[in-house]
């Protein structure tokens, strides 16, 4: 796969270059960008496209070698050689943990983002740019629509244009409105005649491959437009729910979170705000399922005219009706203990990020007796216990920082308003703003110009 890069700096009109030029002109962070490059046509097109509009020192290419195929190391070296010809710095990140017996693809994806996030922090990058295309968007929408009975389901907004990973790395996807064939046409125009084909892309055991083949003969032209409208509705709903969290919610010490029941707010806004509180207080790893959402709707619909005292258990939390307020607190069940070695950091109960700053003493973390189940700390199980409340900082040689449910793990940009409101309520630091400023303007958040080219 020999490449001739002499034409990569040509400025012939190209849809890909126009898209990436617009993307770069709307970035407010001018630090170098990271590019996730596997060597496939999509990521190679992203690499060459950005190389055509940015100087080499403004780009760092990163390849994750999962070690899942014998050829993966050679492929990473091939990508490195292409970056060298472009004058772009390249690093290979290797997944060295043991591979799980089940859920291999999900584990590999999680490992890939963790490796990219660590590299992004170490290298001081503005963001990580990935090459998800319009074809990927259509495939994702088709898979999620097949699993959902509601056109308003969150997943039907598709792949977000930007996602914050673990509060530290923005993943930006500027090619969601560009087809794979457009990218390949650009590569051919630059005399790039080869790229890496992942054998798994032809393996029909994977759902995405089967869906891709179905879409080759049946392209849903309206699908991407529908997803953009759903994403815009989600952003507006998140903004209204964030305003309700700011105006109607409070928390003091170890007391449950209180939300004044606002009869003037729409049911959708109240539900979104409550789901966010449940997500936070329960340390959610996934959203409420259909049964949970139905139980929450039934609970809320029963409140007008009912007596105080009703309660529902949802997502490891208890939601209570108390007079004109609703309260949300962690349910006292499935509370694990955590023993942390000197200098270790970890997550307790999916709700607190804890670092043991002692160089000599271990730290034991368990559930305290407070309402809401806050962490209880003991040194080597010999010293007196010290309880830490939500707004405390460094105490006794360790740090304890509240996590905010799924927002602290993977946060789509259209849910950023809710995440920021939760951060204010928790009395902790805010989430980093998305550096892609075009996404700050609500009408442009996901309103992509959907191209109707047939996926390849």
Q: Residue ranges for the binding site for ATP?
A: 38-43
Tokens 């000197």 sit on residue: 342
DSSP letter (8 states) at residue 350:
T
Alpha carbons 65 and 71: distance in angstroms, whole number: 10
Q: Is the dihedral of CA 222, 228, 233, 234 positive or negative?
A: positive
**Torsion angles phi and psi, residue 260, rounded to 5:** -65, 130
Count of positions (residues) in the chain: 456
Tokens 């990973």 sit on residue: 165
Tokens 């699908």 sit on residue: 223
Residues 6+ apart with CB under 8 A from 37: 43, 44, 46, 47, 61, 62, 63, 79, 83, 90, 131
Helix 267-282 to helix 290-301 angle (10° resolution) is: 120
CA of residue 116 relative to chain centroid, distance: 13
Task: Tell me the CA distances in angstroms from 392 to 3, 386, 400, 402, one per residue in order.
Answer: 56, 12, 8, 10
Tokens 């049946």 sit on residue: 218
**Residue ranges of the binding site:** 38-43
Task: Tell me the CA distances in angstroms from 293 to 182, 241, 289, 322, 440, one per residue in order.
Answer: 41, 16, 6, 21, 29
């Amino acid at each position: 796969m020999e490449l001739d890069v002499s034409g990569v700096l040509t400025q012939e009109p190209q849809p890909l270059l126009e898209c990436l030029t617009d993307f770069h002109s709307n970035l407010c962070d001018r630090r170098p960008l990271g590019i996730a490059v596997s060597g496939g046509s999509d990521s190679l097109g992203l690499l060459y496209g950005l190389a055509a509009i940015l100087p080499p020192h403004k780009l760092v290419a990163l390849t994750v070698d999962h070690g899942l195929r014998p050829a993966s190391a050679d492929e990473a070296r091939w990508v490195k050689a292409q970056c060298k010809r472009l004058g772009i710095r390249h690093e290979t990140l290797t997944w060295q943990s043991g591979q799980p017996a089940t859920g291999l693809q999900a584990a590999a994806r999680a490992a890939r983002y963790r490796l990219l996030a660590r590299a992004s922090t170490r290298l001081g990058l503005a963001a990580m740019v990935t090459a998800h295309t319009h074809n990927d968007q259509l495939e994702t929408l088709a898979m999620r629509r097949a699993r959902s009975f509601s056109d308003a389901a969150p997943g039907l907004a598709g792949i977000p244009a930007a996602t914050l990973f673990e509060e530290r790395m923005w993943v930006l996807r500027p090619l969601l409105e560009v087809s794979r064939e457009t990218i390949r046409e650009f590569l051919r125009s630059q005399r790039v005649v080869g790229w890496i084909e992942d054998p798994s892309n032809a393996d029909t055991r994977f759902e995405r491959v089967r869906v891709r083949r179905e879409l080759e003969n049946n392209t849903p032209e309206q699908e991407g437009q529908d997803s953009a409208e759903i994403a815009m509705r989600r952003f507006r709903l998140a903004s209204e729910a964030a305003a309700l969290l700011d105006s109607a919610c409070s928390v003091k010490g170890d007391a449950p979170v209180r939300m004044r029941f606002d009869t003037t707010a729409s049911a959708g806004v109240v539900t979104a705000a409550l789901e966010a509180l449940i997500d936070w207080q329960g340390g959610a790893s996934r959203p409420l399922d259909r049964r949970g959402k139905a139980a929450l709707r039934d609970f809320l619909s029963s409140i007008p005219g009912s007596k105080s005292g009703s309660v529902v258990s949802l997502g490891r939390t208890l939601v209570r009706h108390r007079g004109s307020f609703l309260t949300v607190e962690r349910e006292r069940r499935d509370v694990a203990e955590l023993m942390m070695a000197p200098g270790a950091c970890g997550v307790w109960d999916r709700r607190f990020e804890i670092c043991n700053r002692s160089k000599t003493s271990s730290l034991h973390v368990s559930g305290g007796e407070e309402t809401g189940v806050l962490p209880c700390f003991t040194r080597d199980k010999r010293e007196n216990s010290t309880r830490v409340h939500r707004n405390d900082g460094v105490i006794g040689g360790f740090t304890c920082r509240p996590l905010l449910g799924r927002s602290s793990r993977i946060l789509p940009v259209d849910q950023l308003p809710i995440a920021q409101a939760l951060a204010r309520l928790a009395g902790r630091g805010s989430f980093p703003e998305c550096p892609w400023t075009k996404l700050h303007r609500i009408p442009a958040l996901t309103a992509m110009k959907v191209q109707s080219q047939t996926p390849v």
